[in-house]
Amino acid sequence: MTGLHSNIIRSEIMDWRDDERLRVVEHFADKLHELNQLIDTALRQMTLKDWLWRSSYHDEHVAPIVEDWMKRHYSQLRENYEASAKHLEDQLVQQSADHSWSMGEIASAGVTAAVSVAPLAVIPFVAGLATVTTTTLLVFTTSAISLPALALLGGGLAIATFGSSSFRNQQLENLTCMYIEQVQSEARNKIIGDVADPDTPSVQRCLLAEIDQIALKKQETLT
């Protein structure tokens, strides 16, 4: 392969990578409001009894919603970029038959990328997916919600048990709004990543790393 031909292919690979990364980022930016609405609906169904046992309610009714959403969108985006990579491979094969990009190579590159993004084990949300390290990525239990926030909510809940009915209802509404914002924020960090901590693993960062690794692996085959 000539140097010029190799550079052209490298450029096409980088274009593919940039397009897929942008597609992932835009997807979550466009779809995250759907998850926020699901969380809002689930938490607004909490009774006073649920508030007293909110850890159990969270793990039984909220976490499954978040985990299922993350699992579906992770799988969808991964299928999309794998299909796109296969399409690019077909194009490159036409230009250079001895530099084929097999789906087996793509799959192994994805796993390698996920393993390299440590520690993905703290992002539980995608249990059952092919990438073993993402099994815990999609777990959204009460431990994901900061203790100071729960302590604050607990204090407010004590206040909400006294006073008139209208006063209690208003206090519960305030608490619910605070809790919804907290859960939505924690879910967003699990999905997109914490802006304040670029090293914190997330579903989006995992996907971007997989895409980067695939592009790098393909470039390494060029001479």
Lowest mean pLDDT among 40-49, 61-70, 122-131, 133-142: 122-131
User: Higher-confidence residue: 171 or 16?
Assistant: 16
Residues in the chain: 223
Model pLDDT, residue 121: 36
Number of domains the chain contains: 1
Model pLDDT, residue 194: 85
The residue to which tokens 């938490």 are assigned: 43
Residue 118 has pLDDT above 70, yes or no: no
Query: For 121-160, what is each residue's pLDDT tens digit?
Result: 333 333 222 332 344 555 666 555 543 444 445 555 554 5
Query: For 213-223, what is each residue's pLDDT tens digit?
Result: 888 888 777 65
Residue 11 has pLDDT above 60, yes or no: yes
For residue 203, count other CB atoms closer than 10 A to its CB. Answer: 25
Range of the domain at 89: 3-220
Helices 203-220 and 3-43 sit at what angle, rounded to 10 degrees?
170
What value does the mean pLDDT take over residues 84-97? Answer: 74
What value does the mean pLDDT take over residues 63-80? Answer: 91
In 3D space, the residue among 216, 214, 217, 220 whose CA is nearest the CA of residue 24 turns out to be 214
